[in-house]
Amino acid sequence: MNQKHEKNRNVAIIGIGQTVYSSHREDVNQPEMIHEAVTLALKDAGLTMADIDCVAHGNMELFEMVHQPDMWHVIGDGAYGKSAFRLTTGGTTGATLVSAADNLVASGMYDIVMAIGFEKLQEGHTTGGITNMADPLWTRHLQTGALTGATAAYMIREFGEERAKRAAMKLRIDMDKHAVLNPNSHRSFGLDYDQMDDLIANSPQLAGELRLIHMCSQSDGACAMIFASEEKAKKLCKKPVWIRDHITIHREENFATMFTYDIEERDPTTHRVAAERLFERNGIKNPVEYFDVFEMYDPSSWWGLDWVRDFFLLKDDEHLKMVENGDLKIGGKMPLNPSGGVVSANPIGATAMVRVAEAALQVRGDAGGHQVPGEVNHALASGFGGTYWTVLLMLEKNLDWREGEK
Q: Is residue 113 in a domain?
A: yes
Whether the predicted pLDDT of 198 surpasses 70: yes
Provide the domain limits for residue 94: 11-126+218-230
State the pTM of this model.
0.93
pLDDT tens per residue across span 43-59: 999 999 999 999 999 98
pLDDT for res 406: 47
- For position 134, what pLDDT does the model report? 62
Mark residue 46 as left, alpha or beta (left: phi above 0; alpha: psi -120 to 50; beta: remaining).
left
Structural domain tally of the chain? 1
Give the CATH number of the domain where residue 68 resides: 3.40.47.10
Distance CA 155, CA 158 (A): 5
Answer yes or no: is pLDDT of 385 > 50.
Answer: yes
Q: What is the Cα–Cα distance from 95 to 209, expressed in whole angstroms?
A: 29
pLDDT digits (tens, 9 = 90+) for 92-135: 999 999 999 999 999 999 999 999 999 998 877 766 666 666 66
Look at residue 106 and tell me if it is in a domain. Answer: yes
Determine which of 163-177, 299-313, 379-393 has the lowest per-residue pLDDT on average. Answer: 379-393
What is the per-residue pLDDT across 14-35, written as a single tens digit (0 to 9) for each?
A: 999 999 999 988 899 999 999 9
Model confidence at 142, in pLDDT bands (50, 70, 90)? Answer: low
Please give the helix or strand (H or E) that residue 197 lies within, else none.
Answer: helix 196-202
For residue 261, is pLDDT > 50? Answer: no
In a domain, 187, yes or no: no
Q: Is residue 141 part of a domain?
A: no
**Residue 274: CB atoms within 10 Å:** 23
Within-domain flag for 278:
no
Quick check: is 176 in a domain?
Answer: no
pLDDT class for 148, splitting at 50, 70, 90?
Answer: confident
Q: How far is CA 177 from CA 174, 270, 328, 390, in A?
A: 5, 29, 12, 26
63 assigned to some structural domain? yes
**In this structure, are residues 146 and 299 in contact, taking their beta carbons and an 8 Å threshold?**
yes
- 283: Cβ contacts below 8 Å, ≥ 6 apart: 404
Please check whether residue 272 lies inside any domain of the structure: no
CA–CA gap between residue 210 and residue 203 (Å, rounded)? 9
